[in-house]
Amino acid sequence: MEPIKYNEDSLAYGTTNITIPGFSVPSVILPLYIWALFASPTMFLLLFLNRRVRNVGPLILVFMMITLGGVEMAQLLIHADIDKGFPVTHMIFKISGLNGTIIYYAILIMGFTLFGIPAWFVVRWISRCYYAKKFSDQTILFDSIWLLATLALCGYLIMEVGSMGWLGIFAFVIYKLVQIYGLRSLQLTAKKRHNSQLLFLRVFGSGKRTQHFFDLLNARWRYIGSIELVASTDLAGTTLEPNEFLDFLSGKLRNNFIRNHEELGHRLATLDLKPDADGRFRVNEFFCFDDTWQMTVISLIGQSDVVIMDLRNFSRENRGCIFELQTLVDLIPLKRVVILIDHTTDYPFLEVTLRHCWEGMRASSPNADSDVATLQLLRAERSVSATVNRLMLICDHISASTGTELPLNGALTS
């Protein structure tokens, strides 16, 4: 690599210009230049592992690493052709009549495309392993980060010592061995643990606040038990599983939707309630049509240990939430329900709705024997992590009715 040169004339003005091969730039650019040379692969982490696409990002990252390997291979072939006097390039030029620049980029695109075929099969294999519980979503995430770092290391070593640099791949092998051995105790402990099923209900379309809250809740709760929810676009980046993502790409996602009682029964019977190898339980999404979501919610409420209902942005327009509140009163002891509210919740309307739900309660409800029912309300704080911490404490002592109390057939107190 051509050395970096300093421009001494600029010293008189209190700055130092440096000459990077082909460019003369201020010295403040030097850290960025060094980062671009040695750490630019970290941009892939920013693109594919951010919160919005975290569940499917690792698959995309693996696909891109393999296909870009095809581009790198194509470049090596081009350089080898240059060293031999352009015989292949001249042959392509005679056949196609294209100029050298077009031929160059065509070869790169060909390398990307050819390696895209095995990349797709690798991604499909990862998805099948995830479905078979050989991998967890967290394992795929960590593996993709380590693989990217290992390949970057191999690239630098190859520039320094030649083909021996590929020995750097053993860093990834050692990481996997440590991971497999280290997770054994977590898996054994998780298998003995009772799965505390959490049902997460919400006002659809609440946006980033709900997603951020669910991200933190997801990270904490899944060491306790599984999370069930009705699927929607507001949490797709967090909850969409690798196999569901591939179904989406292949146009088969509609096959995952529940159409009738028989399909709902099969889905509930095959619900994934066992922990992964890292000791974490999974998120179970239910894709529903307009005429099947209500029966799905009824079934999920009936088998849940804890129900968390995010009623931020709740108003009289949210008829689906009103149905869910009535179902909660009818089917589950209210001491197992926590409702999340804040300043965007139409609180007077919520109070009226809950009173109506209590008055219209089924005779078979587990709450029917109670003269006074107490519902736990949690007011969200500005700090999402503080809200989740309080929620976890409430869930730890949920039978003691910790939290803000709302007597449904008496005066409202807080």
What residue ranges do the domains of the chain occupy?
A: 5-33, 44-161, 194-407
Q: What are the tens digits of pLDDT across the range 109-119?
A: 888 899 999 99
For residue 311, give the nearest of 394, 202, 230, 198 by alpha carbon. Answer: 202
Look at residue 413 and tell me whether its pLDDT is greater than 80. Answer: no
Q: What are the tens digits of pLDDT across the range 357-366?
A: 998 889 898 8
Q: What are the tens digits of pLDDT across the range 285-313?
A: 999 988 899 999 999 999 999 999 999 99
> Which pLDDT belongs to residue 174?
94
3-state secondary structure (DSSP) of residue 326? helix
For residue 315, give the nearest of 356, 346, 354 by alpha carbon. Answer: 346
194 compared with 22, residue with greater pLDDT = 194
* Rounded Cα gap, residues 307 and 29, in angstroms: 53
CATH 3.40.50.970 assigned to 194-407: no
Are the CB atoms for 173 and 90 separated by under 8 Å? Answer: no
Average pLDDT, the chain: 80
3-state secondary structure (DSSP) of residue 102? helix
Look at residue 4 and tell me whether its pLDDT is greater than 60. Answer: no
| DSSP state for residue 233 in the 8-state scheme | G
Are the CB atoms for 201 and 311 separated by under 8 Å? Answer: no
For residue 282, give the nearest of 412, 102, 397, 139 by alpha carbon. Answer: 139
Contact partners, residue 87, CB within 8 Å, separation at least 6: 81
